[in-house]
Amino acid sequence: MRIVKLQLGLTPRAGTGLRVYAHRFDRDRGDPSAFAYEHDVVVDQAVGGRWTGWLMGGLVTPPDAARAAFAGARSGQVFASVSYKFGGPLGAAR
């Protein structure tokens, strides 16, 4: 599989990030051919000094040749995550 990725990111305000990804997946078996295109949008948000969260939405579209070979169709996905950062480095004296 050969993957080409384009990423654009910006910070519209302190603590908020926005990223947009575009991927092209090619099968690389002698004669490379397009396998799928994926587009993702990710929003990151910091809340206070220790909490962060992100939400990602993605859409995958296979070209006609891949649909025929794998009976695939357009599909989407949504992921969410929340993280908490515990204090200090490991092993630090208190």
* pLDDT score recorded for residue 70: 63
| pLDDT of 69 strictly over 70 | no
| Residue 60: Cβ-neighbour burial (10 angstroms; 0-12, 13-18, 19+) | middle
Which residues contact residue 39 at a Cβ distance below 8 angstroms, ignoring those fewer than 6 apart?
20, 21, 22, 23, 58, 59
Q: What is the DSSP letter of 63?
A: -
Distance (Å) of CA 63 to CA 35, 47, 92: 6, 40, 53
What letter represents residue 83's amino acid?
Answer: S
- Which burial class, exposed, middle or buried, applies to 36 when counting CB atoms under 10 A from its CB (0-12, 13-18, 19+)? buried
Instruction: pLDDT band for 44, please (50, 70, 90 cuts).
Output: very high
Q: pLDDT band at 17, cuts 50/70/90?
A: very high
